[in-house]
């Protein structure tokens, strides 16, 4: 009809006017969001200033120029008490970087090896890798670091040190290795030459019109050039030296080892723990990315006459790297954050040095701010490097149609005579793996059962060759209930048991979510009634909670509180309004980039500092706030990925049917998001359970703290393996059950995906 106006458009409003209106609206929302952010920061600064005046404290960073007051025991350069605090912090930063420089390559090599082991079609090798990975993934990293550190200290003394190779000493003083004199300088020269050569080769390739992702030749050539330049630098630097030897070999001198490169027990335990823990996750990334490569690509390479090694190098790796680089970068960032656990075993990393500076200067807020900024900066640099390499491997488009993948053929074959004894190679692998498994199983069985001591005294245990389960039996009350008074232990055990039983159906993944929710609410209600007490029994106050009680209640409470917060953050980050999207994005990325230990210390200090008063009785609440926020931000990203995987036509169709926005979210989007992201969400929840072991840094007496209290007694210290084994088994049972649930959800999602019809 003539003169009609389109719905929702004012008369006389053209496309240009509409564009200006949209631009002004977006600019207004952005201005509101920026103003809110600036106002929040200004309000926080006013609160901090008022709190400092109330506590009669002086702020500022002038302490960085004052003497540190302590010596950094292990660093790349000497730091004495009279040196400035900033020099000590720099030493801690270099210690963190040195750990990353060795732990990331070690974790990558071990992860690739374990990932390829998982892809083996041999019946034993394909099933051996999950058995090696599961105990590492399903126990807390802090517990593993304690075990590694205790194992290093339990090694023989210097005079009885193990010498597997000439010039190599392994003792309770650490690992001593031969080293080339001036090795740090040569390493830096080689690294700089590799970077320059790689950049030059890339520029030359682009000038010739060669794609930046044409194989690994630029990298290989750069490394070769770096090796040549490093060799020339070595000859030139040592040509003017008067020394007859260029290799610094460790030697036994007095009661210690002199010379060479000495890895202290703290550094050795940290490298071993971080490398193995993250290698277990990298192995899954490698296996999943290789399984996702199109089978047609592999078959085409073989049809062209390429060998299997050439196909793996030129076909499988470029395609698998596209899927593996982003999660691999996440593991590198997680390794950076987990390196802060060095403070628990006494290694002077950045976090440990900042803690010593805080003890000397009482500038906790400034030191924690420095920790947040430095770790965010390191994470940003690692993220930029990963982004650059991700762009490098994705420089060419990948056009893989939905079809069979390598995962359809790369799986362990059934155990039978042809698959285990069908060829000389299979016979050799079967015999080697069988001998190792039988020997290891026999040793574990004899140590844990046959030669174990179940009754007796510590003296009898020290004379035995097996495990001393007497240590666990005698300290079971302290281990499971901590410092909880004896009259309350029975009620506490019943409450914890009811709480676990109530949440078990939901965690087990029963089909009826209503039954799981009802059981969880019922269990939580009964447990709360028992803990709060009645006229017949007094309440079990929060300050007396310890041992398993803290671990269980804190895990469940953090998960329950994190789920709605994660959903709210995910929706805010997906919002079209900048006033909602920007704060949520800043919060999520900030929390994800800061180590959890730093967050725990920051919350435990900042909230009491701002609120005032005595918060010593509220450590559980403070730990719950930090864990809930950390878990919610990680879970929000998982949910955001689930939302992004949905097609945009579904909400449009739902609105066309007359559904409101809340109904679209509740009835259309959320069920699909939960189905798509359930496996990854369960992985985050498993991480939250393991993260509860970190609350020991703010003084909560959890299960791991109880184990440390048992070992603090010199009588039971030699039986550290038995105590840690029991704690590891408790974590393993819960985390492995949830991990199995996550893998089952992944298989269900894969089986119901678009490839299912083709299979």
Strand partners, 174: 171
Measured between alpha carbons, how far is 358 from 363 in angstroms, rounded to an integer?
A: 5
Q: State the pLDDT confidence band at 187, using cuts at 50, 70 and 90.
A: low
Beta carbons within 10 angstroms of residue 389's beta carbon: 14
Q: State which of 12-16, 400-404, 512-516 shows the largest mean pLDDT.
A: 512-516
Q: Is the Cβ–Cβ distance between 173 and 257 less than 8 Å?
A: yes
- The residue assigned the tokens 């592999």 is 298
Q: What is the pLDDT of residue 728?
A: 93
Token output for 289: 């990315």
Q: What is the pLDDT of residue 215?
A: 44
Measured between alpha carbons, how far is 613 from 607 in angstroms, rounded to an integer?
A: 10
Q: Tell me which H or E stretch contains 247.
A: strand 247-248
- The residue assigned the tokens 């994005």 is 585
Q: What is the mean pLDDT of the chain?
A: 80
**First-to-last CA distance in the chain?**
55
Distant-in-sequence, close-in-space partners of 716: CB < 8 Å, separation ≥ 6 = 458, 471, 474, 475, 710, 723
Measured between alpha carbons, how far is 723 from 725 in angstroms, rounded to an integer?
A: 5
On the question of pLDDT at 391 being above 80, the answer is: no
Distant-in-sequence, close-in-space partners of 298: CB < 8 Å, separation ≥ 6 = 311, 315, 316, 406
Q: State which of 97-106, 174-183, 258-267 shows the largest mean pLDDT.
A: 97-106
Q: State which of 213-222, 535-544, 587-596 shows the largest mean pLDDT.
A: 587-596
Q: What is the pLDDT of residue 239?
A: 45
pTM of the model: 0.84
Minimum mean pLDDT range among 114-118, 160-164, 393-397, 727-731: 393-397
Measured between alpha carbons, how far is 301 from 315 in angstroms, rounded to an integer?
A: 7
Beta carbons within 10 angstroms of residue 498's beta carbon: 19
On the question of pLDDT at 89 being above 70, the answer is: yes
Measured between alpha carbons, how far is 584 from 573 in angstroms, rounded to an integer?
A: 5
Phi, psi (rounded to 5 degrees) for 169: -120, 130
Over the stretch 16-68, which tens digit does the pLDDT of each residue have? 666 666 667 666 666 766 676 677 666 767 766 776 676 677 777 888 888 98
Over the stretch 562-594, which tens digit does the pLDDT of each residue have? 989 999 998 888 888 777 888 888 888 888 889
Q: Is the Cβ–Cβ distance between 85 and 65 less than 8 Å?
A: yes
DSSP 153: H
Q: State the pLDDT confidence band at 354, using cuts at 50, 70 and 90.
A: very high
* Distances in whole angstroms, Cα of residue 459 to Cα of each of 463, 473, 721: 6, 15, 17
Distant-in-sequence, close-in-space partners of 436: CB < 8 Å, separation ≥ 6 = none
Q: What is the pLDDT of residue 3?
A: 46
DSSP 293: S
- The residue assigned the tokens 């499971």 is 480
Q: Is CATH 1.10.3720.10 the classification given to domain 559-751?
A: yes
Largest CA distance in the chain: 104
Which one, of 319, 317, 298, lies nearest residue 307 by Cα? 298
Which one, of 573, 578, 571, lies nearest residue 26 by Cα? 578
Let me know if 279 is exposed, middle or buried by CB neighbors in 10 A (0-12, 13-18, 19+). Answer: buried
Q: State the pLDDT confidence band at 629, using cuts at 50, 70 and 90.
A: very high
Over the stretch 638-673, which tens digit does the pLDDT of each residue have? 888 778 767 667 777 877 888 887 788 888 888 888
* Distances in whole angstroms, Cα of residue 540 to Cα of each of 486, 560, 618: 12, 22, 14
On the question of pLDDT at 459 being above 60, the answer is: yes
Q: Is the Cβ–Cβ distance between 351 and 340 less than 8 Å?
A: yes
Q: State the pLDDT confidence band at 177, using cuts at 50, 70 and 90.
A: confident
Minimum mean pLDDT range among 319-333, 395-409, 489-503, 635-649: 395-409
Q: What is the pLDDT of residue 386?
A: 82
Q: Is the Cβ–Cβ distance between 508 and 741 less than 8 Å?
A: yes
Q: State the pLDDT confidence band at 330, using cuts at 50, 70 and 90.
A: confident
Judge whether 58-153+265-395 and 559-751 match in fold: yes
Q: State the pLDDT confidence band at 9, using cuts at 50, 70 and 90.
A: very low
One CATH from 3.40.50.11810, 3.40.640.10, 1.10.3720.10, 1.10.1660.10 for 58-153+265-395? 1.10.3720.10
Q: Is the Cβ–Cβ distance between 96 and 349 less than 8 Å?
A: yes
Minimum mean pLDDT range among 160-174, 425-439, 735-749: 735-749
- The residue assigned the tokens 């040592």 is 238
**Among residues of the chain, what percentage have pLDDT more than 90?**
21
On the question of pLDDT at 231 being above 60, the answer is: no
Give the CA count within 13 Å in the CB-facing half-sphere of 639.
26
Measured between alpha carbons, how far is 90 from 68 in angstroms, rounded to an integer?
A: 12
DSSP 702: B
Minimum mean pLDDT range among 111-125, 649-663, 680-694: 649-663
Residue spans of the domains in the chain: they are 58-153+265-395, 413-450, 559-751
Higher pLDDT among residues 243 and 311, named by residue: 311
On the question of pLDDT at 304 being above 50, the answer is: yes
Which one, of 189, 191, 187, 157, lies nearest residue 174 by Cα? 157
Let me know if 210 is exposed, middle or buried by CB neighbors in 10 A (0-12, 13-18, 19+). Answer: middle
Strand order in the sheet with 174-177: 169-171, 174-177, 261-263
Q: State which of 25-29, 204-208, 644-648, 692-696 shows the largest mean pLDDT.
A: 692-696
Q: State the pLDDT confidence band at 624, using cuts at 50, 70 and 90.
A: very high
Measured between alpha carbons, how far is 678 from 684 in angstroms, rounded to an integer?
A: 10
């Amino acid at each position: 009809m003539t003169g009609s106006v389109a719905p929702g458009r004012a008369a006389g409003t053209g496309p240009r006017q509409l564009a200006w209106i949209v631009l002004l609206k977006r600019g207004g929302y952005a201005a509101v969001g920026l103003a809110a952010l600036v106002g929040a920061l200004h309000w926080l600064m006013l609160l901090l200033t008022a709190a400092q005046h109330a506590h009669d404290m002086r702020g500022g960073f002038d302490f960085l120029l004052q003497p540190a007051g302590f010596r950094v025991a292990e660093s790349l350069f000497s730091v004495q008490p009279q040196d400035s605090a900033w020099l000590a912090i720099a030493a801690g930063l270099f210690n963190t970087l040195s750990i990353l420089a060795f732990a990331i390559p070690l974790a990558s090599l071990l992860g690739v090896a374990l990932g390829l082991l998982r892809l083996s079609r041999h019946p034993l090798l394909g099933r051996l890798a999950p058995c090696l990975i599961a105990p590492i993934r399903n126990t807390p990293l802090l517990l593993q670091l304690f075990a590694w550190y205790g194992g290093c200290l339990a090694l023989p003394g210097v005079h009885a040190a193990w010498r597997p190779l000439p010039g190599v000493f392994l003792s309770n003083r650490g690992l001593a290795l031969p080293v080339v004199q001036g090795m740090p300088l040569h390493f830096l020269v080689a690294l700089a030459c590799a970077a320059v050569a790689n950049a030059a080769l890339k520029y030359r390739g682009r000038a010739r019109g060669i794609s930046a992702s044409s194989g690994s030749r630029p990298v290989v050539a750069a490394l070769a050039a770096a090796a040549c330049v490093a060799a020339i630098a070595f000859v030139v630097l040592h040509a003017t030296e008067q020394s007859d030897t260029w290799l610094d070999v460790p030697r036994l001198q007095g009661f210690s080892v002199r010379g060479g490169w000495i890895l202290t027990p703290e550094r050795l335990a940290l490298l071993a723990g971080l490398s193995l823990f993250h290698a277990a996750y990298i192995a899954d990334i490698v296996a999943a990315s290789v399984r996702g490569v199109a089978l047609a690509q592999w078959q085409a390479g073989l049809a062209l006459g390429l060998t299997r090694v050439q196909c793996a190098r030129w076909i499988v790796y470029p395609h698998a790297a596209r899927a593996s680089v982003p999660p691999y970068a996440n593991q590198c960032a997680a390794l950076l954050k987990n390196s802060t656990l060095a403070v628990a075993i006494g290694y002077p990393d950045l976090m440990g040095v900042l803690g010593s500076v805080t003890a000397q200067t009482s500038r906790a807020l400034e030191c924690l701010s420095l920790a947040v900024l430095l770790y965010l900066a390191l994470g940003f640099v690692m993220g930029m490097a990963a982004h650059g390499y991700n762009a490098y491997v994705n420089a060419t488009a990948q056009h893989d149609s939905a079809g069979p993948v390598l995962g359809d053929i790369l799986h362990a074959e059934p155990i039978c005579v042809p698959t285990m004894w069908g060829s000389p190679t299979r016979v050799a692998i079967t015999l080697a793996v069988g001998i190792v498994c039988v020997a290891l199983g026999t040793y574990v069985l004899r140590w844990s059962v046959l030669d174990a001591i179940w009754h007796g005294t510590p003296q009898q245990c020290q004379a035995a060759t097996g495990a001393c389960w007497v240590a666990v039996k005698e300290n079971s009350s302290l281990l499971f209930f901590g410092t909880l008074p004896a009259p309350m232990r029975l009620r506490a055990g019943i409450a914890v048991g009811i709480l676990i039983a109530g949440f078990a159906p939901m965690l087990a993944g029963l089909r009826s979510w209503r039954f799981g929710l009802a059981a969880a609410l019922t269990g939580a209600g009964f447990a709360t009634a028992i803990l709060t007490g009645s006229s017949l029994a007094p309440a079990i106050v929060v300050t007396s909670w310890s041992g398993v009680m803290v671990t269980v209640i804190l895990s469940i409470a953090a998960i329950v509180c994190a789920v709605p917060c994660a959903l709210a953050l995910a929706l805010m980050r997906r919002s079209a309004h900048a006033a909602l999207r920007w704060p949520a994005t800043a919060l999520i990325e900030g929390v994800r980039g800061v180590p959890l230990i730093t967050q725990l210390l920051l919350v435990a200090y900042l909230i009491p500092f701002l609120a005032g008063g005595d918060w010593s009785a509220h450590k559980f609440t403070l730990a719950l706030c930090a864990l809930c926020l950390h878990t919610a931000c990680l879970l929000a990203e998982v949910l955001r990925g689930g939302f992004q995987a949905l097609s945009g036509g579904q909400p449009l169709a739902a609105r066309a049917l007359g559904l409101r926005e809340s109904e679209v979210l509740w009835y259309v989007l959320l069920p699909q998001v939960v189905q798509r992201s359930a496996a990854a969400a369960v992985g985050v929840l498993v991480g939250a359970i393991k993260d509860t072991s970190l609350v020991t840094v703010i003084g909560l007496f959890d299960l791991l703290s109880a184990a440390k209290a048992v070992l603090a007694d010199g009588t039971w210290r030699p039986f550290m393996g038995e105590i840690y084994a029991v704690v590891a088994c408790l974590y393993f049972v819960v985390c492995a059950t949830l991990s199995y649930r996550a893998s089952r959800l992944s298989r269900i999602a894969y089986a119901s995906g678009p490839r299912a019809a083709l299979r």
